[in-house]
């Protein structure tokens, strides 16, 4: 008696001519398209350049619902923003914004806070933040608010911040963003003020080490509120910096 062959419950349609070779050829095309993308990514790649964008945002008296998160998120991600300095915030609001904006590293003190995409190694109040970039080594950024200070106190605090950063991180800040009212603060020793585009009318000053001044590619400081208004009606961005660094670790 012929044994009846048990029927498999799996049904693979039989391959027609060229099925297997065509399938593999298609994978070659997949590799080709990924390869082309990678080539385009690599063409013209020179020394590493880095752009740091710092936003200083006042959220005083606001709830997360009142802050235009979508636009803020777009601004922080599109511009590769490393720092978001919040003024007039609370602990809950900072946490909420950190989560919603996916700027998971934050540090706060009182009504001030700094949110960052990369780990904040150390925070002195909310006025000093140093961010760490794994790919290119350490890159120090300081964000200092001197608006309420005048004269000697202002200069002293700025000067103190630099050795503090050096002591804590073995690295001097590569960019110091200073928000100051009135007269521009004096540049710390070894630093020069970056020549910002449209600097006139802005309360922000950017100081960079003299030794790497040539590496600054762009420094953009909005000078009027119209730019900000155009950007968003509800997003109170008061300033924006772009700083680029090349081939220094």
Partner 1 sequence: MIFAAADFQLNWVDWLVICVYLAAIAMIGVISFKYIKGLRDFFLGGRRFKKIFVMFHAFGAGTAGQDPIQVAGGGYNRGFAGIWLQLLWLVCTPFYWLIAPVWRRMRYVTTGDFFRQRYGKSQEVAFAVYGLIFYSVLNALNLLAIKKIVIAVAGGPTPWANWIVVASAIMFLVYGLLGGLIAAVINDLIQGIMIILLSFIVIPAGLSRIGGFAGLHAKVGADLFDLFAAQEFTVAWAIFMSIIALIGIVAHPHMMGTCGSAKNEREARWGLCYGNFLKRLCTVGWVLTGVIAAALYASRPLAQRELAFPSLVRDLLPHGLVGLFIACIIAAAQSSLSAAMVASSGLFINNAYRPYIKKGASERHYLTASRVISGLVVLGALTIALKSESIIRLFKFSMKIPPLFGIAWWFGVLWRKANSKGMWASFFACAAAMLATWPWKEPFQILWKGSWGVTQFFYRIGFVREAGDNLYRWKDEWHICAFLAAGILTMFIVSLLTKGKSEKELDDFYTLIHTPVGQEDKLKEAGIPVVMH
The correct pick among 90, 171, 223, 232 for binding partner 1 (CB under 8 A) is: 232
How many binding residues for partner 1 (CB under 8 A)?
57
How is residue 4 annotated by DSSP? P
Only segment of 38-46, 108-116, 138-146, 174-182 that touches partner 1 (CB under 8 A): 38-46
The correct pick among 60, 63, 91, 99 for binding partner 1 (CB under 8 A) is: 99
| Window 132 to 191, contacts with partner 1 (CB under 8 A) | 135-136
193, containing H or E segment: strand 191-193
Decide: 130 and 143 in contact? Cβ < 8 Å: no
Compute φ and ψ for 167, nearest 5 degrees. Answer: -70, -45
Q: CB within 8 A of 52, min separation 6: which ones?
A: 82, 83, 131, 139, 141, 175, 241, 242, 243, 244, 245
* Per CB under 8 A, 65 contacts partner 1: no
Q: E-assigned strands of 53-96?
A: 54-58, 83-87
| Window 102 to 121, contacts with partner 1 (CB under 8 A) | 102, 104, 117
* Nearest of 67, 63, 64, 65 to residue 75 by alpha carbon: 67
- Contacts with partner 1 by CB under 8 A lie at 7, 9-14, 16, 18-19, 22-23, 26-27, 29-30, 33-34, 36-38, 40-46, 48-51, 71, 74-75, 77-80, 95-96, 99, 102, 104, 117, 135-136, 197, 217-218, 220, 227, 231-232, 242, 244, 246
């Amino acid at each position: 008696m012929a044994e009846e062959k048990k029927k498999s419950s799996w049904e693979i349609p039989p391959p027609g001519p060229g099925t297997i070779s065509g399938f593999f050829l298609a994978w070659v095309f997949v590799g080709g398209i990924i390869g082309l993308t990678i080539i385009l990514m690599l063409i013209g790649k020179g020394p590493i350049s880095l752009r740091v964008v710092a936003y200083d945002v006042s959220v005083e008296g606001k709830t997360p619902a009142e802050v235009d998160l979508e636009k803020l998120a777009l601004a922080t991600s599109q511009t590769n923003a490393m720092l978001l300095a919040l003024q007039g915030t609370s602990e809950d609001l900072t946490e909420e914004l950190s989560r919603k904006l996916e700027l998971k590293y934050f540090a706060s003190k009182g009504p001030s806070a700094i949110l960052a995409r990369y780990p904040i190694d150390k925070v002195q109040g909310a006025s000093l933040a140093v961010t760490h970039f794994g790919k290119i080594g350490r890159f120090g950024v300081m964000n200092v608010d001197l608006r309420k200070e005048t004269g000697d106190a202002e200069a002293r605090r700025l000067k103190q911040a630099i050795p503090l950063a050096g002591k804590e991180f073995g690295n001097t800040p590569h960019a110091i963003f200073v928000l100051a009212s009135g007269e521009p603060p004096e540049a710390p020793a070894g630093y020069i003020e970056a020549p910002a585009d449209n600097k006139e009318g802005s309360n922000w000053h950017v100081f960079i080490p003299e030794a790497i001044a040539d590496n600054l590619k762009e420094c953009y400081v909005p000078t009027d509120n119209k730019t900000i208004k155009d950007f968003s009606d509800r997003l109170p961005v008061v300033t924006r910096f772009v700083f680029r660094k090349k081939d220094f670790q």
